[in-house]
Amino acid sequence: MISAAQLKKFSSLLQKKYRDEEHLFLIEGEKLIVEALRAGKVISAVMKLNGHSVSDELESRLNKKHIEIDNVKTEQFRRLTDTVHPQGIVAVVSSEGLIRDDIGGVSAPVVLYLNSITDPGNMGTILRTCHWFGVKEVVLSKECVEVLNPKVLRSAMGAVFNLNFYLLPSGRLVELKKSGYKILVSDMNGEDISDMKPHPKVVIVMNNEAHGADNSVLQTADGIISIPGSGKAESLNVAIATGIILFKITTL
Amino acid sequence: MISAAQLKKFSSLLQKKYRDEEHLFLIEGEKLIVEALRAGKVISAVMKLNGHSVSDELESRLNKKHIEIDNVKTEQFRRLTDTVHPQGIVAVVSSEGLIRDDIGGVSAPVVLYLNSITDPGNMGTILRTCHWFGVKEVVLSKECVEVLNPKVLRSAMGAVFNLNFYLLPSGRLVELKKSGYKILVSDMNGEDISDMKPHPKVVIVMNNEAHGADNSVLQTADGIISIPGSGKAESLNVAIATGIILFKITTL
């Protein structure tokens, strides 16, 4: 049985401050929990609403790891989720080593650099898209919304467990350049991506929709790339733009 | 000055039922109002929070149409918006003729058919993307979320005023086929869009993420198209998939 102190601690993980302090985060719903287990993540507790039923797959996966499911009451369960329609089961996962700050070992052909992506829905959708296209290396500027934010986790749909994250200020993009990466920045009035040429190692930089690329990014850029449009709309949503560019670059 | 009865009527427009009955809808924020005026939409009232300042552009556009801005108190203004951080100004716009059910006159090279797109954020982002790529003809199945839903309007960012909408059950897709359109349905295990060939008149059908294409859609299809992926993720977000396909088809 879960103690009052444990419940309080787990409930606090809905806030970034405590996620940072405890190196733990909450995930909700069976699908995400299975995804975390599949990816070999360390789960320290699983709690379900009294009477909520669990699939055989989840049960057997948890059994293998000797993880027990705690049954909790409705009032307790509500403290573990920020959703209006909770999914009946949550898990506490270790975030140890999930976000690195050393990009020295990165050598994948395509790396995504997210510069000040602050909207959780956009962040989650971008991560889900990375997973689709097999772009595993995701570098975040420190202004980005936290990838362990519950809203990000929901729209990422398990992608978080299949990607490698790095935290790197935009001023340090030059480190990737020095290791042989070509830095392509998405912005207005750049080269039409339809004319993009393949390159063995490329970093795609996506910027905040409202602020665009900052100077340190532009100074490091080997090229500016743009998505062709009819010229009538002001801008594209950043997650849509990322999807289109990742499609283009992974099918060159 | 705005009367209590008017305020009540305008406030009711936050609900679909009254939008349908009155053929009116609410838009919030100066940008959207300017966009509606630019597109020649009929605005029947503009209300702003006491003390909220308005740009010269908006003022002169409203003056030209002899539309006055009503100043309202905070409590009154709150009844006109569903946002947590209201933008200080709202307008009531006529929806007369905005959504047609006769697709007889449609002849654009690319038509987008949205089948059961129920999430307002996805719908809004899709419409914004259509506007970017100059895809003006958007056909909606009756299960789609209403395009005049406040959340859709927010994420569409003015695109709604620049597109032509049609309401058409998927069973009637055959009408577009008869008028010379090739019907391409986005689904799993279809033809890789990288190999897509240009066609003078094409309807792209996007389906609900959870339910996929229904039988009436599949029976009308001339082809199934898919976005190539690494095979590790279950699916792409429908707005991302739409963005990628519209990019591909408009740059062939």
CB < 8 Å to B134, chain A: 229-230, 232
Per the model's pLDDT, the better-predicted residue between A166 and B82 turns out to be A166
Q: Are residues A229 and A137 located together in one domain of the fold? A: yes
Residues A220, A174 contacting (CB under 8 angstroms) = yes
Q: Are residues B119 and B202 located together in one domain of the fold? A: yes
Angle B202-B204-B205 (CA atoms, 0-180°, nearest 5)?
Answer: 140
d(CA A109, CA A91): 34
- Collapse the DSSP code of A172 into the 3-class scheme (helix H, G, I; strand E, B; otherwise coil) and give the result: helix
CB contact under 8 A, B239 and A240: yes
The ipTM assigned to this model is 0.95
Q: Are residues A132 and A87 located together in one domain of the fold? A: no
In chain B, whose CA is at the least distance from the CA of A232? B132
Q: Are residues A114 and A214 located together in one domain of the fold? A: yes
CB contact under 8 A, A227 and B159: no
- Which domain-ending residue is among B94, B110, B129? B94
CB < 8 Å to A236, chain B: 128-129, 132, 243
Q: Are residues B46 and B123 located together in one domain of the fold? A: no
Instruction: Give the pLDDT mean for A199-226.
Output: 95
**pLDDT attached to residue B8:** 96
Instruction: Give the pLDDT mean for B55-78.
Output: 95
Which range marks the domain in which residue B72 is found? 4-94
Residue-wise pLDDT tens digits, B106-133:
999 999 999 999 999 999 999 999 999 9
- Which domain-ending residue is among A94, A115, A135? A94
CB contact under 8 A, A230 and B132: yes
**pLDDT attached to residue A131:** 97
Instruction: Give the pLDDT mean for A144-167.
Output: 96
**pLDDT attached to residue A86:** 85
The two beta strands, A43-49 and A89-94, are antiparallel
- Which domain-ending residue is among A65, A94, A123? A94
Proportion of chain B above pLDDT 90, given as a percent: 94
- Whether A94 shows a pLDDT value over 90: the answer reads yes
**pLDDT attached to residue A83:** 87
CB < 8 Å to A234, chain B: 157-158
d(CA B25, CA A55): 45
CA of B87 vs chain A CAs: smallest distance (Å): 17
Residues A137, A164 contacting (CB under 8 angstroms) = yes
Instruction: Give the pLDDT mean for A46-57.
Output: 95
Residues B213, B207 contacting (CB under 8 angstroms) = yes
For B233, which of A132, A228, A250 is closest by C-beta distance? Answer: A132
Q: Are residues B90 and B106 located together in one domain of the fold? A: no
Residue A72 CA, chain-centre distance (Å), reads 29
Residues A94, A184 contacting (CB under 8 angstroms) = no
Q: Which amino acid is at B219?
A: Q
Nearest to B52 by CA among B92, B88, B90, B1: B88
Instruction: Give the pLDDT mean for B152-174.
Output: 95
Phi and psi torsions of B38, nearest 5°: -60, -40
d(CA A104, CA A137): 12
Q: Are residues A106 and A54 located together in one domain of the fold? A: no
The CATH number of the domain holding residue B8 is 3.30.1330.30
Q: Are residues B225 and B157 located together in one domain of the fold? A: yes
Instruction: Compute the radius of gyration of chain B from its Cα atoms.
Output: 20
Residues A184, A213 contacting (CB under 8 angstroms) = no
d(CA A88, CA A78): 9
Residues A37, A89 contacting (CB under 8 angstroms) = no
CB contact under 8 A, A235 and B132: yes
Q: Are residues B54 and B17 located together in one domain of the fold? A: yes
Proportion of chain A above pLDDT 90, given as a percent: 94
Alpha helices in chain B (DSSP H): 4-12, 16-22, 30-38, 56-64, 74-78, 120-133, 150-156, 173-178, 215-220, 238-250
Question: How deeply is A71 buried, as exposed, middle or buried, from its count of CB atoms within 10 A (0-12, 13-18, 19+)?
Answer: middle
**pLDDT attached to residue B84:** 83
In chain B, whose CA is at the least distance from the CA of A134? B230
Mean pLDDT rounded to a whole number for chain B = 95
The CATH number of the domain holding residue A208 is 3.40.1280.10
Size of interface A-B (CB pairs under 8 A): 97
Largest Cα separation within chain A, whole Å, is 60
Residue A233 CA, chain-centre distance (Å), reads 28
**pLDDT attached to residue A246:** 98
Best interface-test mutation with A: which of B129, B160, B236, B240 has the largest number of A CBs within 10 A? B240
Q: Are residues A162 and A47 located together in one domain of the fold? A: no
CB contact under 8 A, B128 and A227: no
CA of B6 vs chain A CAs: smallest distance (Å): 33
- Cβ neighbours around B96 below 10 Å, total: 10
**pLDDT attached to residue A1:** 80
Core vs surface per residue B134-154: b (16+ CB within 10 A) or e: bbbbbbbbeebbbbbbbebbb
Q: Are residues B245 and B147 located together in one domain of the fold? A: yes
The two beta strands, B24-28 and B89-94, are antiparallel
Beta bridge partners of A13: none
Given pLDDT bands bounded at 50, 70 and 90, which one contains residue A84? confident
Residues B28, B52 contacting (CB under 8 angstroms) = no
CA of A50 vs chain B CAs: smallest distance (Å): 27
The number of residues making up chain A comes to 252
Tell me the DSSP string of A195-250: GPPP-SSEEEEEE-TTT---HHHHHH-SEEEE----S-SS---HHHHHHHHHHHHH
- Whether B56 shows a pLDDT value over 90: the answer reads yes
Ramachandran assignment for A23, one of left (phi > 0), alpha (psi -120 to 50 degrees), beta (any other): left
CB contact under 8 A, A227 and B237: no
Structure token pair of residue A170: 């935009």
Instruction: Give the pLDDT mean for A13-37.
Output: 96
Given pLDDT bands bounded at 50, 70 and 90, which one contains residue A201? very high
Split into its structural domains, chain B has a count of: 2
Angle B227-B171-B145 (CA atoms, 0-180°, nearest 5)?
Answer: 65
Q: Are residues A203 and A242 located together in one domain of the fold? A: yes
d(CA A196, CA A162): 27
**pLDDT attached to residue B83:** 87
**pLDDT attached to residue A127:** 98
**pLDDT attached to residue A232:** 87
**pLDDT attached to residue A212:** 92
Question: How deeply is A152 buried, as exposed, middle or buried, from its count of CB atoms within 10 A (0-12, 13-18, 19+)?
Answer: buried
**pLDDT attached to residue A70:** 96
**pLDDT attached to residue B164:** 97
- Interhelix angle for B120-133 vs A238-250, to 10°? 60
Instruction: Give the pLDDT mean for A83-110.
Output: 93
**pLDDT attached to residue A85:** 85
CB < 8 Å to B132, chain A: 227, 229-230, 232-233, 235-236
- Whether B244 shows a pLDDT value over 90: the answer reads yes
